């Protein structure tokens, strides 16, 4: 009996202990509770000062947590091509860590050029692992500002000119990153389509172009990708800074799209306390503080969302409703990232990342031209290759602004090709031209000595000598990451290649008919020599594995399958924005007069033949398209419609093709583009293999944005589905009716 009483007492005691223990875990730390409950509980425990502490920067890349409650700091990092090296707490100088070298992934233009959603997921997952390993809460990227003109210095960080392509490519990137418990911060919302005057220009754009061209990728990032954060842009819209913009942030992002995440200012993008409080901004970060004034040491208290906000609360000028709302969103971010016990640990420069980087790079490389099939190079028949041009040796991961990296390694094309060619083929190098010899950005130095004493003419003469005696000449030029090229903060000054490269290319092409031009850039360039050279390869900024990836394409280990994510115009005036005289604006105002006619939409409208069209890219094999069929003749608004086409590999080797679906509205009340991309599928085919490709669309693919009604409208009538290998190479079409 005694024993029984003892046992019962023990059970009761243990039970009450467990019960007590459960009661003692605060709700916000209890991950069996919903995020919403945890957020409300944490919020209820915080002082006003602690809340204000969370909504602005405390260092160049971090904001405060609440140490008393065990809520961690938030750490951010650029983005979007690799994890940036650490800088000092309150200065832009390097912190000098020895363990912050990253894997440099290809630039987002390359990712977009792969037209492969699986590559985007792989990219996101891999870069997210690097961010996680480095303990970052938020990755500052990806960028999806539309390619409006070829002069924008930051185009290389974005996903091209087409809203559909960028929408489809941004979503898997986000999912991949966030699967690591690291948030993406999609940027720059919105209308930041040039670097000139980026912090003071007010963009005037009609609602139709806003909704049809400039917003879809952001909307997809929010609604399909589920990004946990978004970054406001530097410029103004409706004469209000985009970082605290009633219309963009409150009306569209939050009300129309239901965004629940955190809005982060671009660095120094906030300019006003009251607007920052009321117009949707959650966290203020800065390059300088407050607003536009430089501050050397801890100026963070002066941020618009710091002491000035607190003072307004203390003097009852404003209440705390908005503050609580901001903190709620930040706490939600904390629970999804730093305070998510289940998130993985990440990895840095792992073998998997190297393989991923090389794969994405080789899938994005675009074969623009290949006359007489001079590519791929058959190494067994090639004794000597002349590699000419600075970009064959120059490290490209350093420079370009905030996306500049400290890469653990970077393989140049010269090294990549030498390694691949082995002893059997001699590779000789000539500089050809001198571009940028500096090799330093934000205190990171490539360590390369690119100093040169020869004159331009001597360099050309030396290059010609080398070119004459080789079986192949591979010219590697293009742009670099210096000012006025592919770089943040400045735009390009011309469409043409810098550093006398046009002359060099023409001279070289004269002395060797096996001439390949490899263009490294994140932008279209003019090619006045296009008819003088047989082969042209568009190779982007490809990151750590650059040289290996390009070499693999040149010698045919990889069959190229990239397609251009933007139009290459013959001349600058062939671009809509430039033709309409609306770049870069004047007196602080910039009007997008070309409206919805951006990229190929403009070429189609004006009947301008591009140098290379949107969606263009060749392969070492050939593809034949059958006749497209539709699963029905008529579609109602509630329906879906499927188009099927068979594609056959008619060449002798395996290859991949991007089958593109464009929709054309034959008659409408408002002017519409001749055609618009509304579907694509990348398929791989063995020699002789044939596959049926089906692409399904719904009403959204037929709709335009009616500004008067403020809604998407699909007008009944006749449409056409066009299937092509590029926007200028439509192979088959079928008509249908929307009832
Ligand atoms: C850029 C952002 C970047 C931020 C932090 C800004 O100047 O516009 O894209 O994420 O700096 O480096």
Residue 270 CA, ligand 1 centroid: distance in Å? 13
Closest ligand 1 atom, residue 187 Cα:
9
Q: Is residue 595 domain-shared with residue 632, that is, in the same domain?
A: no
Q: Is residue 580 domain-shared with residue 636, that is, in the same domain?
A: no
Please give the angle made by the CA atoms of 279, 281 and 284, to the nearest 5 degrees: 140
Residue nearest to atom 4 of ligand 1 (CA): 267
Closest ligand 1 atom, residue 61 Cα:
5
Position 8 in a domain: no
Write out pLDDT tens, residues 614-670: 999 999 999 999 999 999 999 998 899 999 999 999 999 999 999 999 999 999 999
Closest ligand 1 atom, residue 140 Cα:
10
> How far, rounded to the nearest angstrom, does the alpha carbon of residue 315 sit from its chain's CA centroid?
44
Confidence class for position 294, pLDDT limits 50, 70, 90: very low
Residue 161 CA, ligand 1 centroid: distance in Å? 21
CA separation for the pair 232, 248 (Å, rounded): 9
CA separation for the pair 567, 570 (Å, rounded): 10
Provide the 8-state DSSP code for 284: B
Provide DSSP, 166-224.
HHHHHHHHHHHHHTTT-EEEEEEETT---STTTTTPEEE--HHHIIIIISHHHHHHHHT
Pocket probe mutation, ligand 1, options 267, 268, 287, max atoms within 8 Å of Cβ? 267
- Residue whose tokens read 């919020």: 43
Residue 334 CA, ligand 1 centroid: distance in Å? 21
Q: Which of the residues 78, 266, 442, 665 is marked catalytic?
A: 266
Confidence class for position 11, pLDDT limits 50, 70, 90: low
Q: Does residue 22 carry a pLDDT above 90?
A: no
Q: Is residue 292 domain-shared with residue 422, that is, in the same domain?
A: no
Residue 698 CA, ligand 1 centroid: distance in Å? 37
**Proportion of the chain above pLDDT 90, given as a percent:** 92
- Residue whose tokens read 């690097």: 130
Query: What residues have CB less than 8 Å from 268, skipping those under 6 apart?
Result: 199, 234, 285, 286, 287, 288, 289, 291, 292
Residue 289 CA, ligand 1 centroid: distance in Å? 15
Instruction: Find the mean pLDDT for residues 287-294.
Output: 54
Tokens read off for 3: 């024993």
Domain, as residue range, for 80 = 32-87+101-336
Residue 685 CA, ligand 1 centroid: distance in Å? 41
Tokens read off for 173: 């990137």
User: Residue 440: enclosing H or E segment and its boundaries?
Assistant: strand 440-441
- β-pairing, 655-665 vs 690-698, is unpaired
| Residue 202 and residue 236 in contact, taking contact as beta carbons nearer than 8 Å | yes
Please give the angle made by the CA atoms of 245, 246 and 252, to the nearest 5 degrees: 100
Q: Is residue 248 domain-shared with residue 320, that is, in the same domain?
A: yes
Closest ligand 1 atom, residue 234 Cα:
8
Q: Is residue 244 domain-shared with residue 116, that is, in the same domain?
A: yes
| Residue 674 and residue 664 in contact, taking contact as beta carbons nearer than 8 Å | yes
CA separation for the pair 120, 195 (Å, rounded): 26
CA separation for the pair 479, 523 (Å, rounded): 8
Residue 363 CA, ligand 1 centroid: distance in Å? 28
Closest ligand 1 atom, residue 143 Cα:
9
260 C-beta neighbours (distance < 10 Å), count: 14
Query: What residues have CB less than 8 Å from 221, skipping those under 6 apart?
Result: 144, 170, 171, 174, 184, 186, 227, 230
Position 169 in a domain: yes
Instruction: Find the mean pLDDT for residues 686-704.
Output: 98
Q: Is residue 250 domain-shared with residue 372, that is, in the same domain?
A: no
Dihedral angle of Cα 266, 213, 121, 541, to the nearest 10 degrees: -70
Closest ligand 1 atom, residue 233 Cα:
8
Q: Which residue has the higher pLDDT, 581 or 696?
A: 696
Instruction: Find the mean pLDDT for residues 367-385.
Output: 98
Q: Is residue 421 domain-shared with residue 283, that is, in the same domain?
A: no
Position 347 in a domain: no
Position 649 in a domain: yes
Q: Is residue 373 domain-shared with residue 271, that is, in the same domain?
A: no
Query: What residues have CB less than 8 Å from 571, skipping those under 6 apart?
Result: 495, 526
CA separation for the pair 449, 435 (Å, rounded): 13
Pocket probe mutation, ligand 1, options 78, 91, 137, max atoms within 8 Å of Cβ? 78
CA separation for the pair 321, 342 (Å, rounded): 32
> Sign of the CA dihedral 150, 152, 156, 160?
negative
CA separation for the pair 350, 102 (Å, rounded): 10
Residue nearest to atom 6 of ligand 1 (CA): 267
> What pLDDT sits at residue 567?
98
SS (H, E, C) 92-151: CCECCCCCCCECCCCCHHHHHHHCCHHHHHHHHHHHHHHHHHCCCCEEECCECCCCCCCC
Helix (H, G, I), strand (E, B) or coil at 153: coil
Residue nearest to atom 8 of ligand 1 (CA): 266
- β-sheet bridge partners, residue 185: 229
What is the count of structural domains for the chain? 3
| CATH number of residue 108's parent domain | 3.20.20.300
**482 CB-contact burial (10 Å; exposed 0-12 / middle 13-18 / buried 19+):** middle
Position 20 in a domain: no
Residues with CB under 6 A from ligand 1: 78-79, 140, 187, 266-267, 287, 402
Write out pLDDT tens, residues 412-455: 999 999 999 999 999 999 999 999 998 898 889 998 999 999 99
**Proportion of the chain above pLDDT 70, given as a percent:** 95
The alpha helices in 555-666, defined as continuous H runs, are: 576-579, 600-606
Provide DSSP, 646-712.
EEEE-SSS-EEEEEEEEEEESS-SS---S-EEEEEEEEEE-TT-EEEEEEEEEGGGG-EEETTTTEE
Of 602, 629, 653, the residue at which a domain comes to its end is 602
| Residue 129 and residue 139 in contact, taking contact as beta carbons nearer than 8 Å | no
| Residue 142 and residue 88 in contact, taking contact as beta carbons nearer than 8 Å | no
Q: Look up the pTM and report it.
A: 0.96
List the single range of 51-65, 284-298, 374-388, 454-468 with lowest mean pLDDT.
Answer: 284-298
Cα–Cα distances in angstroms (integers) from residue 373 to residues 417, 513, 597, 653, 689, in the given order: 20, 12, 35, 13, 21
Q: Does residue 293 carry a pLDDT above 90?
A: no
Cα–Cα distances in angstroms (integers) from residue 318 to residues 249, 312, 321, 323, 735, in the given order: 20, 6, 9, 10, 59
Position 248 in a domain: yes
Start-to-end C-alpha separation, the chain: 85
> How far, rounded to the nearest angstrom, does the alpha carbon of residue 136 sit from its chain's CA centroid?
19
Long-range pairs for 92-99 at CB < 8 Å and ≥24 separation? Answer: 92/60, 92/287, 92/442, 92/443, 93/443, 94/442, 94/443, 94/444
Of 602, 636, 655, the residue at which a domain comes to its end is 602
Please give the angle made by the CA atoms of 230, 232 and 238, to the nearest 5 degrees: 135
Provide the 8-state DSSP code for 454: S
Q: Does residue 13 carry a pLDDT above 60?
A: no
Q: Does residue 565 carry a pLDDT above 50?
A: yes
**Percent helix, percent strand, percent coil in the chain, to nearest 5:** 30, 20, 45
Closest ligand 1 atom, residue 78 Cα:
10
User: Residue 352: enclosing H or E segment and its boundaries?
Assistant: helix 351-364
Residue 402 CA, ligand 1 centroid: distance in Å? 5
Confidence class for position 23, pLDDT limits 50, 70, 90: low
Write out pLDDT tens, residues 389-411: 999 999 999 999 999 999 999 99
Helix (H, G, I), strand (E, B) or coil at 491: coil
Instruction: Find the mean pLDDT for residues 112-117.
Output: 98
Residue nearest to atom 9 of ligand 1 (CA): 402
Single out the residue of 646, 654, 669, 653 nearest to residue 732, CA to CA: 646
**278 CB-contact burial (10 Å; exposed 0-12 / middle 13-18 / buried 19+):** middle
CA separation for the pair 340, 336 (Å, rounded): 6
Q: Is residue 374 domain-shared with residue 518, that is, in the same domain?
A: yes
Residue 269 CA, ligand 1 centroid: distance in Å? 10
Write out pLDDT tens, residues 466-519: 999 999 999 999 999 999 999 999 999 999 999 999 999 999 999 999 999 999
Confidence class for position 17, pLDDT limits 50, 70, 90: very low
Position 705 in a domain: yes
22 C-beta neighbours (distance < 10 Å), count: 10
Q: Does residue 20 carry a pLDDT above 60?
A: no
Q: Is residue 428 domain-shared with residue 297, that is, in the same domain?
A: no
CA separation for the pair 459, 253 (Å, rounded): 54
| Residue 565 and residue 363 in contact, taking contact as beta carbons nearer than 8 Å | no
30 C-beta neighbours (distance < 10 Å), count: 12
Q: Is residue 391 domain-shared with residue 490, that is, in the same domain?
A: yes
Of 336, 371, 399, the residue at which a domain comes to its end is 336
Query: What residues have CB less than 8 Å from 254, skipping those under 6 apart?
Result: 280
Q: Does residue 134 carry a pLDDT above 90?
A: yes
- Residue whose tokens read 């070499």: 551
Instruction: Find the mean pLDDT for residues 330-351.
Output: 98
50 C-beta neighbours (distance < 10 Å), count: 18
| CATH number of residue 638's parent domain | 2.60.40.10
> What pLDDT sits at residue 2?
57
For residue 708, indicate whether it is catalytic.
no
Residue 697 CA, ligand 1 centroid: distance in Å? 36
> What pLDDT sits at residue 470?
98
- Residue whose tokens read 């068979």: 646
| CATH number of residue 390's parent domain | 3.40.50.1700
Q: Is residue 519 domain-shared with residue 570, that is, in the same domain?
A: yes
Residue nearest to atom 2 of ligand 1 (CA): 266
> What pLDDT sits at residue 442?
85
What integer best gives the mean pLDDT of the chain?
95
Position 507 in a domain: yes
Residue 266 CA, ligand 1 centroid: distance in Å? 6
């Amino acid at each position: 009996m005694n024993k029984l009483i003892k046992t019962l007492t023990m059970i009761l005691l243990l039970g009450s202990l467990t019960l007590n223990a459960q009661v003692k875990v605060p709700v916000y730390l209890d991950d069996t509770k919903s995020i919403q409950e945890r957020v409300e509980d944490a919020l209820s425990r915080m002082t006003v000062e602690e809340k204000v502490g969370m909504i602005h920067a405390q260092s160049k890349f971090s904001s405060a947590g609440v140490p008393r409650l065990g809520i961690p700091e938030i750490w951010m990092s650029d983005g979007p091509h690799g994890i940036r090296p650490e800088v000092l707490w309150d200065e832009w100088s390097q912190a000098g860590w020895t363990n912050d070298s990253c894997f440099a992934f290809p630039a987002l233009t390359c990712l977009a050029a792969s037209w492969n959603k699986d590559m985007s997921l792989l990219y996101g997952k891999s870069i997210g692992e690097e961010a996680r390993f480095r303990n970052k809460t938020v990755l500052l990227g990806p960028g999806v500002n539309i390619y409006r003109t070829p002069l924008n210095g930051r185009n290389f960080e974005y996903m091209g000119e087409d809203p559909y392509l960028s929408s489809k490519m941004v979503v898997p990137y986000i999912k991949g990153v966030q699967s690591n418990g690291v948030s993406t911060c999609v940027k720059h919302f919105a209308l930041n389509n040039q670097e000139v005057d980026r912090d003071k220009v007010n963009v005037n754009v009609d609602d139709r172009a806003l909704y049809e061209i400039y917003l879809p990728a952001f909307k997809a990032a929010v609604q399909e990708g589920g990004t946990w954060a978004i970054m406001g842009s530097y410029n103004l819209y409706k004469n209000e800074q985009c970082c605290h913009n009633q219309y963009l942030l409150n009306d569209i992002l939050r009300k129309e799209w239901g965004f629940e995440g955190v809005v982060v200012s671009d660095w120094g993008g906030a300019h006003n306390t009251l607007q920052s409080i009321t117009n949707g901004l959650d966290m203020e970060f800065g390059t300088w503080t407050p607003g536009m004034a430089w501050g050397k040491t801890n100026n963070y208290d002066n941020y618009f969302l710091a002491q000035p906000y607190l003072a307004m609360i203390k003097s009852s000028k404003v209440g705390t409703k908005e503050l609580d709302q901001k903190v709620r969103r930040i706490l939600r971010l904390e629970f999804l990232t730093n305070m998510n016990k289940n998130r993985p640990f990440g990895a840095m420069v792992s073998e998997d990342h190297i393989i991923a980087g090389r794969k994405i790079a080789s899938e994005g490389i675009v074969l623009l031209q290949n006359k007489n099939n001079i590519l791929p190079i058959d190494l067994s028949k090639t004794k000597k290759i002349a590699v000419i041009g600075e970009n064959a040796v120059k490290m490209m991961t350093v420079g370009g602004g905030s996306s500049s990296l400290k890469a653990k390694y970077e393989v140049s094309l010269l090294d990549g090709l030498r390694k691949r060619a082995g002893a059997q083929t001699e590779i000789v190098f000539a500089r050809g031209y001198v571009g940028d010899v500096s090799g330093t950005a934000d205190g990171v130095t490539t360590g390369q000595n690119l100093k040169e004493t020869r004159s331009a003419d001597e360099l050309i003469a030396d290059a010609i000598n080398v070119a004459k005696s080789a079986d192949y000449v591979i010219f590697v030029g293009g742009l670099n990451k210096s000012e006025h090229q592919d770089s943040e903060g400045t735009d390009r000054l011309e469409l043409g290649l810098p550093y006398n490269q046009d002359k060099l290319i023409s001279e070289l092409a004269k002395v060797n008919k096996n001439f390949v031009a490899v263009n490294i850039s994140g932008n279209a360039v003019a090619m006045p020599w296009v008819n003088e050279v047989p082969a042209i390869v568009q190779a982007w900024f490809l990151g750590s594995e650059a040289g290996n990836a390009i070499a693999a394409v040149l010698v045919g280990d990889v069959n190229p399958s990239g397609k251009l994510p933007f139009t290459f115009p013959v001349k600058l005036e062939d671009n809509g924005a430039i033709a309409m005289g609306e770049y870069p604006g004047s007196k602080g105002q910039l009007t997008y007069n070309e409206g919805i006619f951006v990229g190929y939409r403009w070429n189609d409208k004006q009947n301008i033949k591009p140098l290379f069209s949107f969606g263009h890219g060749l392969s070492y094999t050939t593809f034949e398209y059958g006749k497209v069929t539709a699963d029905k003749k008529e579609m109602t608004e509630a329906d879906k419609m499927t188009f099927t086409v068979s594609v056959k590999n008619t060449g002798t080797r395996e290859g991949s093709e991007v089958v593109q679906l464009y929709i054309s509205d034959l008659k409408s009340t408002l002017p519409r583009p001749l055609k618009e991309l509304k579907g694509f599928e990348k398929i791989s085919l063995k020699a002789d293999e044939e596959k049926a490709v089906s692409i399904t669309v719904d009403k959204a693919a037929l709709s335009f944005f009616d500004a008067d009604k403020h809604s998407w409208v699909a007008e009944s009538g006749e449409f056409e589905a066009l299937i092509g290998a590029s926007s200028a190479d439509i192979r088959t079409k079928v008509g249908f009716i929307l009832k």
